[in-house]
């Protein structure tokens, strides 16, 4: 009888420890999830600011590259183009290319 009561006490103590451990794990997971949520929110805010700065810079770079290609074509390539119809046809083809 005495051994059975000792087992019951051990079982109750073990169940109590498991409950405390489970509660501690839940609280730890809650804290980790909150920290990750705050980190993700901060990352999204920083990413938004970086994109707002980087976007116009990339647009300016794209315009510069397009201008460089147009300059190269009109200054270096167009004088060497020979088409039937002469210079007006070359100008018409170049104008339609710029339009497109």
pLDDT tens digits along 20-46: 888 889 999 999 999 999 999 999 999
In degrees, rounded to 5, the angle at the alpha carbon of residue 37 between the alpha carbons of residues 31 and 41 is 145
Q: How many other C-beta atoms lie within 10 A of the C-beta of residue 70?
A: 13
**Model pLDDT, residue 8:** 60
What's the rounded Cα separation, in Å, for the pair 16 and 19? 5
Place of tokens 């315009």: 63
Confidence of residue 90 (pLDDT cuts 50, 70, 90): confident
| H runs (alpha helix) in the chain | 2-72, 87-99
Q: Examine the pLDDT at 7 and tell me if it is beyond 70.
A: no
Per the structure, how many domains does the chain have?
Answer: 1
The answer for residues whose C-beta is within 8 angstroms of residue 23's C-beta and 6 or more apart is none
Host domain of residue 40: 2-99
What's the rounded Cα separation, in Å, for the pair 31 and 27? 6
Q: What is the mean pLDDT of the chain?
A: 84
What's the rounded Cα separation, in Å, for the pair 29 and 7? 32
**Model pLDDT, residue 12:** 66
Place of tokens 């018409």: 92
């Amino acid at each position: 009888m005495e051994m059975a009561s000792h087992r019951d006490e051990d079982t109750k103590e073990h169940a109590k420890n498991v409950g405390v451990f489970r509660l501690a794990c839940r609280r730890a997971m809650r804290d980790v999830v909150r920290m990750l949520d705050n980190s993700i929110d901060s990352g999204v805010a920083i990413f938004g600011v970086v994109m707002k700065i980087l976007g116009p810079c990339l647009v300016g770079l794209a315009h510069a590259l397009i201008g460089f290609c147009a300059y190269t074509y009109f200054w270096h390539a167009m004088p060497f183009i020979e088409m039937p119809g002469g210079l007006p046809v070359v100008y018409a083809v170049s104008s339609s290319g710029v339009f497109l």
